[in-house]
Amino acid sequence: MPKLARSPLVHLRAGVRRRIRDIPAGEINFTQDTCGDTFSDGRSCSETLRQLHRGEVGLHASFLNLFCVETSAGVCSINNRRLSVLKQLEALWKKPVVVRCKVATLLPNFEAAVEQIYELQHSETSATFQQQLALVRQLILHRDSECRDEIVIRQRNKRKRHRS
């Protein structure tokens, strides 16, 4: 997968709204280098490919829908096994296989942050990286604004609540 952008890109649509799009499998990138050969329901990728090729399973079966993320590098699937099967089917049929995708767009600033975190993941030990990532998550979820040396104490509502 090509590297994500390091600077904001104007042409990307803003927001995380998910859009349904029909995209040829050949135009979708994988998000991983490898994937398992069995789906969570126990079905093998090769059996699924055979069923699709023979027409026993239709291309519009809901389990074939992909969740994708759009970045400056293109559209990437989170569902790598399904995409692999669909790309193999495309190669067998020698024509595009159009896939129903739910696509969310990653904002450019978040895209740059993801790329930096990805690089850190490969420069630190696994334990250090996991600890730092957990710390970042906690800080992002807890922090209201910049860190400061004072705090405002909120007062509880002192009004008595009447039970009905």
> Structural domain boundaries of the chain?
18-107, 110-142
pLDDT digit string, tens, across residues 89-128: 999 999 999 999 999 998 888 888 888 888 888 888 888 8
Q: What is the mean pLDDT of residues 41-59?
A: 95
pTM of the model: 0.71
Q: How confident is the model at residue 63 (pLDDT cuts 50, 70, 90)?
A: very high
Q: Domain 18-107 - what CATH class?
A: alpha beta
What is the rounded distance in angstroms from the CA atom of residue 116 to the CA atom of residue 138? 18
Helix, strand, or coil (residue 35): coil
Q: What is the mean pLDDT of residues 139-159?
A: 79
CA nearest to 31, candidates 68, 86, 72, 85: 68
Contacts of 35 (CB under 8 A, 6+ apart): 80, 81, 84
